[in-house]
Amino acid sequence: MMEFQTGDKVVHYIYGVGEIIQIEKKILAGRSVVYYRVQIRDLTLWVPVNGTGRQSLRLPTSANQFEERLKF
């Protein structure tokens, strides 16, 4: 199941904020795998839709959530 769509802003746990510019299927080692193609500044990442890829992307924190998390 895909959590994100083309055009969504996302945060990669290592590289930071980017945008999903395409969802594409690639054949690697004889297997068909679906990837999010994420553009982060001048870097393009292909993040698997299933498995560990879903753990490396999240939606940006909203302003309200950000302020709430800063409260002590």
Per the structure, the count of domains in the chain is 1
Please tell me the predicted confidence (pLDDT) of residue 40.
97
- Write the CATH number for 35: 2.40.10
Q: Kindly state whether residue 21 falls inside one of the protein's structural domains.
A: yes
Q: Kindly state whether residue 4 falls inside one of the protein's structural domains.
A: no
pLDDT digits (tens, 9 = 90+) for 31-67: 999 999 999 999 999 999 987 666 889 989 888 887 8
Q: Kindly state whether residue 64 falls inside one of the protein's structural domains.
A: no
In terms of residue numbers, what domain contains 31?
9-57
Cα 40 to Cα 20: distance, rounded to the nearest angstrom: 9
- Which two structure tokens, joined as six digits, stand for 51? 């498995």
pTM above 0.75, yes or no: yes
Q: Kindly state whether residue 47 falls inside one of the protein's structural domains.
A: yes
| Cα distance between the two ends of the chain | 36
Q: Kindly state whether residue 41 falls inside one of the protein's structural domains.
A: yes
